[in-house]
Chains A and B, each alone.
Chain A
Amino acid sequence: MSHRLLPLVVLTALGLTSCRDPQISTYRVPKEKSPAMTATPAAAASAPGATMANTPVTTAEGPGLSWSAPAHWTAKPASAMRKGSYAITDDSGEPADLSITAFPGDVGGDLANVNRWRSQLQLPPLAATELASATAHLDVNGLHLTTVDFTGGPTAKPQRVLGAIIPVGNATWFFKLTGPAALVAREQAAFASFLQTIRAPRPTS
């Protein structure tokens, strides 16, 4: 009799195997290689997967700042979160990252923004009274820049942030260079020259 029930048994077994639950998995993969990048910030590049998930991130609208990056910085495609993005590498392998973002309003004010960067370096937050001594100011092409320079992170692998916060109209722009302290120190002069190239949008008549 059993062989006559075989089809039912097979079907039940197949049915049960379909109840597969996804499990947590762990694996090791070689680091991803980035594709060859275009030399200019691809601000107009279509966001990958734009047709699949139409969930826009609100960033600052309106005319943007312009800048000229040093030739040895590799432009990465801009994203909805970033107005511009560059990778800076040296022989040691770990790259530094320059991000350019813009958001409406003042995003919590200078103190909140500076402390956010400090928290990323595992540094204690500054009090409001300490802000003035921890920041520097720069006027470039009619723009007022608040700049910071922090080093933190693990002592064996210190990280450094060079940042500039620029109010433009009703938005705030953030230029932030993050990476291994040694590499950022090497790029400090290039970053300072880079800040000098930032220009405000031309007023429209």
Chain B
Amino acid sequence: MSNLICQFRDFFVSLKLTVVLIALSIVLIFAATLDQVNLGIWAVQQKYFHSLFVLWRIGDIPVPIFPGGYLIGGFLLTNLIAAQVYRFKLTAKKSGIWLTHIGFILLLIGELITGLWQEEFALRLDEGETKNYSESYRSNELAITETTDPKFDDVVAIPEKFVARGEAIQQGKLPFRVVPKIYYPNAALAARDATTPGVAPTPATTGIGLQATATPLPLTYKQNERNAPAAYIELAGPAGPIGTWLVSADPRFPPQSFEYAGRTWKIAFRFERSYKPYSLTLLKFSHDRYAGTEIPKNFSSRIRLNSPDGRDDREVLIYMNNPLRYAGLTFYQAGFENDDKTTILQVVRNPSWQLPYISCSLMTLGLIVQFGIHLVAFIARRRTLPSAVV
């Protein structure tokens, strides 16, 4: 083996590397915890842990200033695997350490998979309402829907990122171009009174934008709030502009209908949707309290799960710590509103949800085995000692 490769191997096998990585993790977690006040938990996770480097923006240029969670975690994982391969021999005496280390490796891999592929959505259902989609907690989309067909809607969903970019969007299914004129990442809506002297002219030429106006707001990072972006969107056909609409992702801002080329359309900025090949109907939401008090005892949603292929048509009860697991998704009871008439389910896709359970079990088993081996050896040694010494 060449000298360079040996150095490379020694670097990754080294216990010093482990110590340095753990020290870096401590600093990273400490800094992230402090920054949570400014950014909120989700943005902190993205900036510090779900990244290779923590970036600092100098002007428009992002400069890496500290290793991020993926980099530290990746090195830690490599270090652990390399040490396992090169330093620890697989013997019965060390079997406990092996099990513990394999458990820890699985935990790191599970966290990586979770970070990369976990999706979280919310499903809000009024009693009696049926939905076959959930909505993102953070992402928004501009949806232009053709509603001409009495049975179906044809949707073109444009992620917020494209609207923010401000470039004209030409999509094959739309007979017009979509030109984002003005975009605010977070905005407040207010009624617009054109008669007030000095009132600014609105960029909107049709729809609610004639009566309402959007004012930019600073981005919010609070956990119980979300940003409500707004935009002025111009639609332009081959013959020229059709109109400019004000759209907002504020859930109270309704979709706006219009006619073009003999077809009816709807334009809306909304929470990003994730459609499912099945539907859920809220039959009843229950908010049980302890008798004679207002102290909550249980929240539960009785749901009818229906798939159009007829494979599933059944009632399920979702309550705290008893989620519905279906088609790779987990539906948790997350909240309620509207005088106990609306339930909010958290919909999570986590392909590695079992890995933490498996890894923790392996680590526990490993520690029991390792301490057990030492205990048995210790007791055996005591037995062999002459009684006079004892």
Q: Chain A interface (Cβ within 8 Å of chain B)?
A: 1, 4, 7-8, 11, 14-15, 17-18, 21-36, 45-60, 79-82, 93-94, 101, 103-109, 112, 116, 119-120, 122, 153-154, 156-157, 159
- Chain A residues positioned under 8 Å from B342 (CB to CB): 48
Interface check B315, CB cutoff 8 A: no
Q: Do residues B251 and A53 form an inter-chain contact, with CB atoms below 8 A?
A: yes
Task: Report the minimal beta-carbon distance from B285 to chain A, rounded to whole angstroms.
Answer: 12
A1 pairs with B259, CB closer than 8 A: no
29 contacts between A and B (CB under 8 A): A11-B112, A15-B52, A18-B115, A21-B161, A24-B157, A24-B162, A26-B155, A26-B156, A26-B173, A31-B147, A31-B150, A33-B129, A35-B126, A36-B127, A46-B337, A48-B252, A53-B225, A53-B227, A55-B189, A55-B248, A56-B189, A57-B190, A57-B250, A58-B191, A59-B191, A103-B193, A105-B193, A107-B194, A120-B207
**Residue among A14, A22, A24, A34 making CB contact with B171, cutoff 8 Å:** A24
Is A94 within 8 A of B212, CB to CB? no
Contact status of A52 and B251, CB under 8 A, knowing A28-B152, A103-B191: yes
Task: Check A54–B225 contact: CB distance below 8 A.
Answer: yes
Partner of A47, one of B159, B251, B262: B251
List, in ascending order, chain B residues with CB within 8 A of A23's CB: 159
How close is A76's CB to chain B, nearest CB, in angstroms? Answer: 10
- Contact across chains for A18 and B159 when beta carbons are under 8 A apart: no
Which of B77, B158, B206 is the one whose CB lies under 8 Å from A24? B158
Does B191 lie within 8 Å of A7, measured CB to CB? Answer: no
Least CB distance from B2 to A in Å reads: 9
A24 x B275 contact (CB < 8 A) = no
In the complex, A22→B139 CA distance in Å? 10
- Contact partner of B127 among A4, A34, A35, CB < 8 A? A35
A47 vs B337: C-alpha distance when bound (angstroms): 10
Q: A103-B211, A116-B210 are in contact. Are A47 and B195 (CB under 8 A)?
A: no
Contact A26 B262 (CB under 8 A): no
Number of interface residues of B (CB under 8 A): 77
Does B169 interact with chain A (Cβ within 8 Å)? yes
Contact across chains for B124 and A7 when beta carbons are under 8 A apart: no
Q: In the complex the two chains form, what is the Cα distance from A60 to B78 in whole Å?
A: 63
Q: What are the residues of chain B within 8 A of A24 when measuring CB–CB? A: 156-159, 162, 169, 171
Contact A79/B151 with A18-B50, A156-B262 known, Cβ cut-off 8 Å: no
Q: Which residues of B contact A (CB under 8 A)?
A: 5, 9, 50, 52, 70, 74, 77-78, 81-82, 85, 112, 115-116, 124, 126-133, 139, 147, 150-159, 161-162, 169, 171, 173, 187-191, 193-196, 206-208, 210-212, 217, 224-228, 248-254, 258-259, 262, 264, 275, 337-339, 342
Interface centre among A29, A94, A104 (most CB of B within 10 A): A29
A4 contact set on B, CB distance < 8 A: 9, 82, 85
Q: Decide if A22 touches B159 in the complex (CB within 8 Å).
A: yes
Whether the pair B191, A57 counts as a contact (CB closer than 8 A) is: yes
Give Cα A30 to B306, complex, Å.
14
B252 near A26 (CB under 8 angstroms)? no
Q: How far is the CA of A27 from the CA of B16 in the complex (A)?
A: 53
**Which residues from chain B contact A119 at a C-beta distance below 8 Å?**
206
Interfacial chain A residues near B206, Cβ < 8 Å: 116, 119-120
Within the complex, which residue of A28, A112, A116, A153 is in contact with B154, where a contact is CB–CB below 8 Å? Answer: A28
Assembled-state Cα–Cα distance A33/B133 (Å): 13
Interface contact A108-B194, CB-CB below 8 Å: yes
CA distance A103 to B208 in the complex (A): 12
The 8 closest A-B pairs by CB, nearest first: A35-B129, A22-B159, A108-B194, A49-B251, A105-B193, A53-B228, A80-B252, A58-B191
* Cα-based distance from A74 to B26 in the complex (angstroms): 60
Contact B155 A28 (CB under 8 A): yes
Q: Given the complex of chains A and B, what is the CA–CA distance between A101 and B212 in angstroms?
A: 12
Chain B residue nearest in CB terms to A94: B150
Q: Give chain A residues whose Cβ lies under 8 Å from the Cβ of B147.
A: 31
B196 touches A55 (CB 8 A): no
Contact B275 A27, beta carbon cutoff 8 Å: yes
Give Cα distance in the complex from A26 to B154, angstroms.
Answer: 7
Chain B residues within 8 Å of A93, by CB: 150
Nearest-CB distance from A184 to chain B (Å)?
A: 15
Q: Which residue of the partner chain B has the closest CB to A105?
A: B193
Q: How far is the CA of A34 from the CA of B227 in the complex (A)?
A: 26
A52 touches B171 (CB 8 A): no
Residue of A29, A34, A105 near B153 (CB, 8 A) is A29
The reply to whether A47 and B252 form a contact with Cβ atoms under 8 Å apart is yes
Is A81 touching B155 in the complex (CB atoms < 8 A)? no
Residue numbers in A under 8 Å from B151 (CB-CB): 30-31
- Check A122 against B78 for contact (C-beta < 8 Å): no
- Taking CB atoms, residues of chain A closer than 8 Å to B211 are 101, 103, 107
Assess A55 versus B191: contact at CB under 8 Å? Given A11-B74, A26-B156. no
A24→B157 CA distance, assembly (Å): 6
